[in-house]
Amino acid sequence: MKVVSTAIGYPYIGENREWKRCVESIWNGHLTEEQFLSDMKEMRLNHLRRQQSLGLEFLTVGDFTLYDRMLDHAAMFGMVPSRYGWSGGKLDLATYYKMARGARDAVASEMTKWFNTNYHYIVPEYEGQPLQLTNNYLLDYFMEAKEELGLVTKPAIIGPFTFVQLSKGYDELSKASFYLKLLPLYAQVLQQLSDAGAEWVQVEEPALVLSLTPDDVKLVQFIYRQLAQEVPSVKIMLQTYFEGPSCFEELSRMPVAGIGLDFAHGGKKNMASLTKHGFPKEKVLGIGLVNGRDIWRANLAELAVDIKAVVSLSGVNEAWIQSSCSLQHVPVTVKLESDLDPVLKNALSFADEKIVEITQVASYVRDETWYGNRSVSESILAIQELARHKERKNEFVRELVTKVEPEDYRRPLAFRDRQPLQQKVLKLPDYPTTTIGSFPQSGEVKRTRKAWRNQEIKDDAYADFVKKESARWIEIQEEIGLDVLVHGEFERTDMVEYFAEKLSGFAFTKDGWVVSYGSRCVKPPIIYGDVQWTAPMTVKEVAEAQALTSKPVKGMLTGPVTILNWSFVRDDLTKAQVASQIALALREEIRALEDAGISIIQVDEPALREGLPLRKENWDDYLAWGVQAFRLATGSVKNETQIHTHMCYCDFNDFIEPITALDADVISIETSRSHGELIQSLKRNPYPLGIGLGVYDIHSPRVPSIEEIDSILDDSLKVIPKEQFWVNPDCGLKTRKEEETIASLKNMVEAARKLRQKQEQMV
């Protein structure tokens, strides 16, 4: 049997985030386009050289992007919304980035989560326009690797079914037209790659793991029959990931040369499908058992046994041993992490280490020998030592979890009864204005925090700086006229990392960066032990800010499910168990904020929806413990204390019940790029608690006009009663510049003021 080692994709960010710096340099005008493209090319080639040096046999191109791969595909097919003024031909770099980030004269395209990962993609917009192949960038990348490095690589393209499923702008009537325009372009791309010498093309169809209708399955069959007829010379590796495909039997019979399956996240389903339906021996089976979404070292002995079981069950003549999905969801390498606990570090595996695991297991499956004399025993020993770590033996936390009672999940009074009690305390006007929590982190803020972390300034000096910056923004907020203020979060880097640093059971990397969206990178904390609250985390800064104003200042916390979903989580407990530990820790912090006189506490859960299983039939269990974790964290507050929460990119239609079940007094939702869609959702599914729809897009540098915000408020009032209506931006303002933030908020407050005047005149 032939065995090949490969990876579905590699992190494009670079070991030292050189990709991020390059992208931001051209945005800031510090790089010419020529130099930018040259630097990007060198990064792509270096990534290939690196994977080759680690022993990977079949390398992938097309996993690299200048911003986002879905955006790359939209640009390649000429799916450029008319508001950007594009007139055809190869898309220029300026327009490409306008689509991603917006401009003064055009809002950015919508951005949302890539399945249930922590990565965001740009949503392609179909306007019925003629489509065209503007530039086959995959061909460029393929030839680049061939000519510069002598490598015949595997180009990767997002498949047509997934691309259309994740696009917007069409209905059932125009969907057929969309496909008829799109499929010839896919065929053209594949043919050009074949003519250039590409034997295999990785066509990624993660949407096949979603719940599909019979019509969906027929459509997928039609798509791949068409491509096989149009481009018979190309071998398609039809790649699925994140779960087992829901149409395995039909998929296995499609006219493709290979099928890739995720056995890390869809192992049970895929094994059951192989057992029931078998697998065509003439097709290549991609076995994704090295987990591309977690950072834990694999037990190589178990991995080899599992892969051999898959090979035996399938009976294939050729297998690709590969990652379960792209490795872009994990940091580049563990080698840089010199400050980690040695036991923990030894149990970690990032992208480079996972490639080594792939090559080691592939070597064993092929040759019955291990690459590296002690590789198997070392992997087993590392996992066993972590299991014995003292951080995983916190009896106080374990006992606390067992003492939770049903009443701990409930507020004393229902919303309609506690709302007047809160208003009596807060005395807010109609349509109260607020922000989501963070304010711009200037160069001075970042430099001061870095100096403090490097121990170049003392704790007292840093605390004094944060206090002064917070006081400055309290004054700015009062001048703007906001009704509910925030302290600005200048002491915080990332909304999860900040809390994780103050709770036991977490560890942190120096260079464990992954891309969240665009050039925004995060370092997810590692939950490797039991989570415990040890001291107040936010009280000092919020109480100091509250002392400076008579207006309420919100306490700002990150919710338990978001901390969980935006961290790398231990794999020896269930996620529900870890979420309960985090919730109990936050419950203590909320109690401390109340004791300090804070009357509004925001517990953000932007990642609640992100953690949903990909199939609706698996949602109930996740939502049960996810909602319970939020309610466990917030259930102990007084009736007069107002609990807020915030969510991103939320499809209200299928999420109204769990959002309501949170029982938060006010929710703010990030909706500026899809405001009209949410309005329609609220018409069908009215929301019974307080709600603020984001009135402008904080991911774009443009300042919204008063008239623009006024129009959004008018639309929102059609579906939200006055008593429940809040006015806010659609997310935190940390990444924005001070001037545009102040200008935008002034316009927002003025629009709210005009709305109050209109309502008074109507009375």
Distance, CA of 61 to chain centre: 22
pTM for the predicted model, two decimal places: 0.90
**Rounded-to-integer distance, Cα 455 and Cα 670, Å:** 37
Those residues of the chain that have pLDDT short of 70 are 372-373, 649-654, 672-676, 763
Rounded distance between C-alpha atoms, residue 332 and residue 335, angstroms = 9
- 479 assigned ligand-binding residue: no
Residue 687 identity (one-letter amino acid) = Y
Confirm whether 639 is domain-assigned.
yes
Domain span at residue 741?
Answer: 395-402+417-442+478-496+531-762
In a domain, 577, yes or no: yes
Residue 696: per-residue pLDDT: 86
Q: Is residue 210 part of a domain?
A: no
Q: Is 20 annotated as a binding residue?
A: yes
pLDDT for the residue 701: 81
* C-alpha distances in Å from residue 753, one per residue of 434, 490, 516, 696: 13, 29, 35, 16
Just list the catalytic residues.
699
756 three-state secondary structure = helix
H helices of 481-604, in order, are 497-500, 539-546, 560-565, 575-595
Q: Does residue 101 lie in a domain region?
A: no
Tell me, what's the pLDDT at 674? 63
Single out the residue of 266, 321, 326 nearest to residue 293, CA to CA: 326
CATH code of 585's domain: 3.20.20.210
Residue 619 belongs to some domain of the structure: yes
For 457-468, the pLDDT digits (tens) are 999 999 999 999
The answer to the question of residue 326 being in a domain is no
Tokens of 446: 């970042």
Rounded Cα–Cα distance for residues 615 and 107 (Å): 32
647 strand-pairing partners: 669
User: What is the number of domains present in the chain?
Assistant: 1
SS3 content of the chain, % helix, strand, coil (to 5): 45, 15, 40
Q: Does 637 reside within a domain? A: yes
Q: Is 363 annotated as a binding residue?
A: no
**pLDDT at position 669:** 86
* Distance in angstroms (rounded) separating the CA atoms of residues 250 and 269: 15
Residue 502 lies in a domain: no
Instruction: State yes or no: 18 annotated in a binding site.
Output: yes
Sequential DSSP letters for 371-432: SSTTHHHHHHHHHHHHHT-GGG--HHHHHHHHT--GGGGS-SS-HHHHHHHHHHHH-PPSS-
Strand partners of residue 321: 5, 287
- Provide CB contacts within 8 A for 613, sequence distance 6+: 116, 243, 619, 622
377: CB partners within 8 A, 6+ apart? none
Q: What are phi and psi of 228, to 5 degrees?
A: -65, -35
Report the distance separating Cα 273 and Cα 250, nearest Å.
Answer: 11
pLDDT value, residue 649: 54
**Six token digits for residue 148:** 């510069």
Is 492 annotated in some ligand binding site? Answer: no
